[in-house]
Amino acid sequence: MRKKGLLFASLVLLSACGGGGGGGTTTSSQPLSLYFTDDMSGYSSVVVKVYEVNLCSDNQCQQKVKLYSNPQGLSIDLAKLNGVLHYINTTNVPQGTYNRLEVVLDKNLTITDPQGQNHQAVFAPMEEKPNKPNTVQCPTQNQCYIRFNGIVQPFAMGKMVVDFVLKEFEVNTSKNPWEVYEVKMKPLTPSELSQYSYYKLYGTVQSVNTQNNSFTISWRGNTYTVSVNQNTKCEFNNQELQGTACMSYIQTNMCVEVKTSSDPSTNTTLNAVKIEKEDECGG
């Protein structure tokens, strides 16, 4: 059967000041921050691996500005990103108006159904369709790209949000592996962005201070101090805890995901709302 309703939303948030330009060709550049997000889907887990996020100044995406690049790929569970912005990276981007946004993903993904069973899945190539300005192509055996085809203005509002909309993904569950044959990705507007008040980021634990109920993590060359309070929730190996009891489980070199109300692109001191242990941080 064919099943609809896989909402696959990834969000790119690019923070900057200033106005637009023409075609991304000016020499002036500004820092932009990249995030992923997703709202609730019908699946308990949707794990994808991201290799690149690019802005393109031409229709064929031959002239690219890389917002993020990782040859090993970064694994993200998009089903866990409901209502939060997962901070990925900040980089300098030439001012301008871009014609495409491109995300390069592993062709393979893993979808966990509501019963907790894991299913291997693949992205299928998809041509642009009327009222659906996305294409999916798989130029190599292991990687595919999803492109939003339309004008992207990362400096028009200081923040640009690109949303991969998971619930409008369509999945053929009769095939083995499952096949994702319809996708949607679009930039969000400032009003759509205003609903987000929480952030997430990965980090590798560098040090633990049990006396101050805090620890430090590193992510892509940045160091953050994370504070734990009585309201902090945490999950380690399927065990749920709260408050300072979390501290006894945090160890150096552990990969954790931290949920916070502070934007990691502009703050290095974070109050933890929730902490979860991850298998790997990547980066």
The residue extents of the domains of the chain are 2-193, 198-278
pLDDT of residue 113 exceeding 60? yes
Angle, alpha carbons 263-267-272 (nearest 5°): 65
Q: Tell me which of 13 and 83 has the higher pLDDT.
A: 83
Q: Is domain 198-278 classified as CATH 2.40.50.140?
A: yes
Percentage of residues in the chain with pLDDT exceeding 70?
86
Is pLDDT at 21 greater than 70 in this prediction?
no
What is the rounded average pLDDT of the residues 4-33?
A: 49
- Asked if residue 14 has pLDDT above 50, the reply is no
pLDDT of residue 64: 93
The 10 Å CB-count burial string (b at 16+, else e) for 63-83 is bbbebbebeebbbbbbbbbee
How confident is the model at residue 162, as a pLDDT?
64
Q: What is the mean pLDDT of the chain?
A: 85
pTM: 0.86
Question: Which CA distances in Å does 155 have to 13, 35, 89, 197, 205?
Answer: 11, 16, 17, 21, 34
Q: Token pair of 42, please?
A: 């019908």
Residue 155 has pLDDT above 70, yes or no: no
Which H/E stretch holds residue 215?
strand 214-219
Decide if pLDDT at 240 tops 70.
yes
Q: Summarize the confidence of residues 222-230 as an average pLDDT.
A: 97
First to last CA, the chain: 37
Closest to 247 (Cα-Cα) out of 279, 283, 208: 208
Token representation of residue 45: 């887990």
Residue 86 has pLDDT above 70, yes or no: yes
CB 85 within 8 A of CB 199: yes
- Does pLDDT of 186 surpass 80? no
Please check the confidence at residue 6 and state whether its pLDDT lies above 60. Answer: no
- Structure confidence at residue 231 (pLDDT): 96
Residue 52 Cα distances to 34, 111, 124, 151, 276, angstroms: 11, 21, 18, 19, 25
* Preceding peptide of 31 cis, ω within 30°: no
Q: Give residue 241's Cα distance to chain centre.
A: 26
pLDDT for the residue numbered 142: 95
CB atoms within 10 A of CB 214: 20
